[in-house]
Amino acid sequence: MVSDTGSASAVRSAGRLNEPRAALVEPQADGTPRLVNRLTVEVIREEWRVLDRWWTEEPVNRRYFDVILESGQQVVVFHDDEDGRWFSQRGA
């Protein structure tokens, strides 16, 4: 992020809102999350897939889970099927 307020010309780099954050997820054999950030998943409220931008060099292939953890916290996590990693995301 660059912000130059000292001169009359300013360049601002816009950032993405709700960027995915790496999450520690332990999946079950069927690919659904069992532990999220070391907390047990009590309920999987919803599950959905997002397949997009397959025509670009950065395709999006995600399996999303809206889960309730043992702490009562509601979290949305997804498995990135392109690079095999897990992320949590707000705003999903």
Partner 1 sequence: MVASLAIPGFELRAALRKRPSLALQPAALAPSDGAEPLIGPVTAAAQQAGLRPGMRMGEALATCPKLVLVEPDPASAELEWEEIIRRLEDSGFAVESTALGTAYFDTRGVERLYGGLEQALKRALAAVGSHWDARVGAATRRFAALAAANVARPGQALVVSDERTEEFLAPLPLRLLGLDERRREELEALGVKRVGQLAGLPGAAVAERLGPDGRSAWSQARGGKRGRIRGRRPPAEVTEELEFPEAVGNELTLRRALATLTEKALTRPERADRFIRKVALSARLVGGASWRRTLTFRDPAGDADRIRLALGPKISEVPAPVMALRLELVEMTEETGRQLELVKPEGAELQSRLQEGLRQVKASTGGGAVATVVEVAPWSRIPEARALFVPRDG
Q: Give the binding site for partner 1 (CB under 8 A).
A: 1, 3, 5, 7-20, 50, 52-53, 60, 89-92
Dist. CA 67–CA 29, nearest whole Å: 17
Taking the least distance from each CB to partner 1, the nearer of 72 and 91 is: 91
Nearer to partner 1, 1 or 29 (CB): 1
Min dist. Cβ of residue 87 to partner 1 (A): 10
Shortest approach of partner 1 to residue 77 CB, angstroms?
Answer: 12
User: Distance (Å, rounded) from C-alpha 74 to C-alpha 43?
Assistant: 10
Instruction: Rank residues 10 and 43 by Cβ distance to partner 1 and give the closer one.
Output: 10
Residue with tokens 């009590």: 42
Distances (CA, A) of 55 to 18, 60, 64: 23, 10, 21
